[in-house]
Amino acid sequence: MNLFIIGDVHGCYHTFRELLQEWEPATELLIQVGDLVDRGRFAPECVQLARDLELAHPGHTVFLRGNHELEMLKHFGPKGPNPPWLEWGGRATVQQYKGRPDTRREHVAWLQQRPLVWENEHVTVSHAGFADTATPLDPENPQGVLWRRGPLRNLGRRQVVGHTPTADGHTTFDAVSNTLYLDTGAYMGMYLTGVRLSATGELLAEFPVPTSRLDIAPL
């Protein structure tokens, strides 16, 4: 089946819902590259929507872990709180979960189960991409698949990643590493982008959705 891959959502619930109208769940695998939470106004709603989609379409959704989920899990874990995370997005997420402890616990448990990578013979999807490092799947590795900024390694298949916002709000493609970059700055008021790929990695269509002001405007 085709792949429908969505970039970093960052709490932009209304924009996320609009983009999902382009997904064809009967014939496509939905993959989201992580960072559902932080920065936008509706992190809990984005996580709940992802959970609902997973239940409604078993076997047709994959929600990956991003670095923001990793830091959120640390904050609400046994070693929390996590002050650095609070300063780069987490404070808004904590506030959004205030008064909803049961929802928070359910979401934390679900986020703990998110994989770091999805791949087939032709496509590899992760949050930040595979670079030349010995331990790319170590969540704490600053050059690993949750944190890498900079050139990626050519894996012999197409990589699709988010994490690093593109400069102009449009997807970019690096031919050297065969990587498609999907973080088009939703939380910055630019776009949330989805792409339709064939199972062999051919880009079939792009769907940039302008960020809804409901998702980022001050209360």
Give the integer Cα–Cα distance in Å for 209 and 188: 13
* pLDDT tens per residue across all 219 residues of the chain: 999 999 999 999 999 999 999 999 999 999 999 999 999 999 999 999 999 999 999 999 999 999 999 999 999 999 999 999 999 999 999 999 999 999 999 999 999 999 999 999 999 999 999 999 999 999 999 999 999 999 999 999 999 999 999 999 999 999 999 999 999 999 999 999 999 999 999 999 999 999 999 999 875
The total of other beta-carbon atoms located within 10 Å of residue 89's CB is 20
β-pair type (158-161, 123-126): parallel
- Given the structure tokens 């780069």, which residue do they identify? 88
3-class DSSP assignment, residue 138: coil
pLDDT of residue 125: 99
DSSP output for 34-100: S--SSSSS-HHHHHHHHHHHHHHSTTSEEE---HHHHHHHHHTSTT---HHHIIIIIHHHHHHHTT-
β-pair type (191-197, 203-210): antiparallel
pLDDT of residue 208: 98
Our CA angle for 171, 172, 174, nearest 5°, is 150
How far is CA 88 from its chain centroid?
16
Token pair, residue 192, equals: 């949330």
The total of other beta-carbon atoms located within 10 Å of residue 138's CB is 15
Q: Which residues in 53-68 are b (16+ Cβ under 10 Å) and which e? A: bbeeeeebbbbbbbbb
Which of 66, 14, 70, 64 has the alpha carbon at shortest distance from 40? Answer: 14
Threshold 0.95, pTM exceeds: yes
pLDDT of residue 218: 75
Judge whether 31 and 120 are in contact, CB under 8 Å.
Answer: no
